[in-house]
Chains A and B, each alone.
Chain A
Amino acid sequence: MAVDTSSQSVAKAAGDSARGRSRGTGKRNGGSRGAVRRSLSTHWYAWAMVAPVVLVIGVIIGYPLVRGIWLSLTDANERNVERSIGVNHIPASYEFVGVDNYVDALTGSQFVGTLGWTLVWTVACVSVTFALGLVLANMLNRKMAGRGVYRMLLILPWAVPGFVSVFAWRFLYDERRGILNQLLAGGGIDAVPWLNDPTWAKFSVIAVNVWLGVPFMMVALLGGLQSIPGEMYEAAEMDGANAWQRFRHITLPGLRSVSTTVILLSTIWTFNMFPVIFLLTRGGPGEATQILVTQAYKFSFEISPRDYAQSSTWGVLILVLLMVFAAVYRRVLRKQGEVW
């Protein structure tokens, strides 16, 4: 729809300008400026259509990004940024400090420590979610009674707003009043300090994130499974391939393009999964479950004075890490012949 209109208009606009204004640029001054001008005069309509989008993206993504990078190079905090309260106006008084914040973050133990747990959290969540999603998708891909109902039920965690389910889990996990421990007590098992013990808390947050993430994996992989032609399975069966061989040599390669995408997405989402950590444990006990984004949030909104510079530094580092990951991931896939 939108694509059609714009291509038509570009063609039409190109025709217009060929007859009209383009004569002036016909001298071919060779430089890139000429090319820009020519492109502007030929495609002015396309540029006009793109302009609002560029503008909006520039305002809502570009400006905060550039400002974040700038703040990370200063010593900005709550006490020295610009404020205007009623009639009082307090001008900004923070200073440029170069890459000091980055040096501090990368040489200190806090960033590296938090990064370590963030990686464990991401890898654990993504791998378990993917494995469970794959199993469930395979099960639900078979013809069985009540398949529609099962599919609906398994999508449920996805349909509930994230913060609602995380709060529900928080009640379940409560050490003394939560249902989980009451069930365990019924079975004669001692109360488990789900969110009060650092190791258990790590386990608990991963479990909730897996619970939240499985529906997405399952639906995406189910879609992938349904695009694999049934004839291939029949042919393999004829050739005497057993179930494992069929799974290994037809299902997995058939799911490749879907799974590479969902793993990439899931990794990025999990790496920055703010609500689960923040609402379940607030990064605690102590800092045991603090991941990079929640720690960056803490710098900027929970401690006093709010350390905007350090928070931005962590934000930029998170961005760099994820960009590096995406680039490496893409390169690895391309080496294996995947077009992405």
Chain B
Amino acid sequence: MRRGIAATALVAALGVTLAACGSDSGSNDGGSKGSGELSGTVTWWDTSTVGSEDKVFKKIAADFTKKHPKVTIKYVNVPFGDAQNKFKNAAQSGSGAPDVIRSEVAWTPDFANLGYLAPLDGTAALKDQDDFLKQAAASTKYNGKTYAVPQVIDSMGIFYNKKIFKEAGVEVPKSIDELKSVAAKIKQKTGKTGLYLRGDDAYWFLSFLYGEGGDMVNADTKTVTIDNPAGVKAFKTVKDLVDSKAAITDATNGWDNMQAAFKDGKVAMMINGPWAVADTYTGKEFADKANLGIAPVPAGSAAQGAPQGGHNLAVYAGSKNLDASYAFVEYMSSTEVQAQVAKELSLLPTRTSAYGKTEVATNEMITFFKPVVDKAVERPWIPEGGSLFAPLVTEYTKVLTNQSTPEQGAKTAGDSYRKLLKDWK
């Protein structure tokens, strides 16, 4: 009988263990505001570049506690490439999700459509809504509600190494044809490669696509446009840049390789956005910041254009501390913080009033990028907006590595878009 008791005890113990495993171990940090004062913990997932931008954002986030001493800000830097998936995993399972996420503009409608984000209309998170740039605010809206607050806005341009350009005696290329001849001259004079073309992320393909007059989709007419003649031509253009050795590319680890090649002066140009400025300045070629030149992306045969991007701050619908999260989002998107970010990181504010500040108005990178952003091509803010890149990057890389022709690549990408967007032409 003694043994029987032992067995029962064992079963019971196992049952308890299982129950313990199953129970939600998520911490509830309260967040009551009985007295009107905010308290509790706000976890923020930031996606800024590690090693340069993250330090500044961490410091600014910590300063929030000066205004609200009872609130603890938990700053977590999640690599940009993983953040979308990590947030989806956490948000769906309901455990481990942050209270506030820095959501890329294309992710925002997707997250909102899935029900992961708290609507912000009428909350403390939105202040002076009319002050936000119209372009920046567009991506925060979904189905008539506001789900995020614009944090930064950006676009792309050519970053070039002035020293190498001087050595080779060339001017900044204004078109793709000029880009090729400039690259050839740089190679001949200095032995260096002209352009680093990022081959593992389709976002870097967009300016070439817009340059040929193409686009991924046309949301007004509900048409897939990636596989029209302009799209095919864009694929041909990038392939030609790599084949003619005007550009080098990588199928993996593109961001690190691009930054390393440019910072070490191995390539003369790259196409990039304001988010790369702070990191680029850490390179040995750019110890003298004046060596970094910046110019609009080269025009294609039909047009000239770069994508409009940026980041929003959104609040997780399941947050246990909504009030403090709203206040934190409001703080992070306030004019003062935006001006500080602009000054230290050259990131573009989303508030009109921030551009009036001296430190913003005199920043060389911002004065360059502001008109670029004004003219940048706006993407359709549909829930599927973020889904368009996965099929495109596969085909983009396949074309660059000679696994399929530009025609096949465009066609396959178009087919997957039509599968994704039901009832689109």
Contact = CB atoms under 8 A, between A and B. Distances in A.
Scoring B253, B257, B390, B391 by chain A CB atoms within 10 A of each residue's CB, the highest score goes to B253
A106 to B, nearest CB: 18
Contact of A288 (B91, B317, B395, B403): B403
Given A282-B252, A286-B401, A305-B387, A85 B316 contact: yes
A55 B252 CA distance: 43
Interface stretch (B6-14, B139-147, B150-158): B6-14
A83 B95 CA distance: 12
Nearest to A51: B11
A66 interface: no
A197 B94 contact: no
Given A174-B253, A304-B390, A88 B403 contact: no
Contacts of A201: 251
Contacts of A306: 88
Interface string A303-314: 111100000000
A287 interface: yes
A285 B395 CA distance: 10
B173 interface: no
Given A198-B401, A306-B88, A86 B319 contact: yes
A281 B94 contact: no
A320 interface: no
A90 interface: yes
B3 A177 contact: no
Contacts of B316: 85-86
B50 interface: no
A9 to B, nearest CB: 7
A337 to B, nearest CB: 43
A198 B400 CA distance: 11
B387 A285 contact: no
Nearest to A303: B390
A302 interface: yes
A103 interface: no
Interface in B1-37: 3-4, 7-8, 10-11, 14, 18
Interface string A258-294: 0000000000000000000000111011111000000
Contact of A85 (B4, B10, B248, B318): B318
Given A85-B318, A90-B115, A286 B398 contact: yes
A83 B387 contact: no
Given A85-B94, A303-B390, A304-B390, A174 B18 contact: no
A175 interface: yes
B85 interface: yes
B285 interface: no
B110 interface: yes
A85 B114 CA distance: 10
A323 interface: no
Contact of B85 (A49, A88, A301): A301
A78 interface: yes
A90 B387 CA distance: 22
Given A83-B92, A284-B397, A55 B14 contact: yes
B401 A78 contact: no
Interface string B387-425: 100110011011011111000000000000000000000
Interface string A179-200: 0000000000000000111100
Contacts of A304: 84, 110, 384, 386-387, 390
Nearest to A283: B394
A84 B250 CA distance: 40
B106 to A, nearest CB: 10
B386 to A, nearest CB: 6
B98 to A, nearest CB: 13
Contacts of B116: 85
B113 interface: yes
Interface in A72-101: 78-79, 81, 83-88, 90
A302 B390 contact: yes
A84 B398 CA distance: 39
Interface string B89-121: 101101000000000000000100111101000
B266 interface: yes
Interface in B42-57: none
Nearest to A284: B251
A86 B317 contact: yes
Contacts of A303: 387, 390-391
B193 to A, nearest CB: 10
Contacts of B403: 198, 285-286, 288
Contacts of A9: 3
A88 B92 CA distance: 11
A196 B250 contact: yes
Given A176-B257, A286-B394, A286-B398, A52 B10 contact: yes
Contacts of A81: 92
Contacts of B323: none
B260 interface: yes
A17 B18 CA distance: 32
Nearest to A287: B394
Interface string A53-84: 00110010000000000000000001101011
A149 interface: no
Contact of A86 (B14, B266, B318, B400): B318
Interface in A220-251: none
Contacts of A83: 92, 114-115
A1 interface: no
Contacts of B319: 86
Given A195-B251, A301-B85, 17 more contacts: A51-B11, A52-B11, A79-B113, A86-B318, A175-B250, A175-B257, A177-B257, A195-B252, A280-B252, A284-B252, A284-B394, A286-B397, A286-B398, A286-B403, A287-B398, A305-B384, A305-B387
Enumerate the 6 nearest inter-chain pairs by beta-carbon distance, A residue then B residue, closest first: A86-B318, A285-B251, A286-B398, A304-B387, A85-B318, A285-B401
11 contacts: A45-B4, A55-B14, A85-B91, A85-B316, A86-B318, A174-B253, A198-B401, A198-B402, A281-B252, A284-B200, A285-B397
Interface of A: 9, 45, 48-49, 51-52, 55-56, 59, 78-79, 81, 83-88, 90, 170, 174-177, 195-198, 201, 280-282, 284-288, 301-306
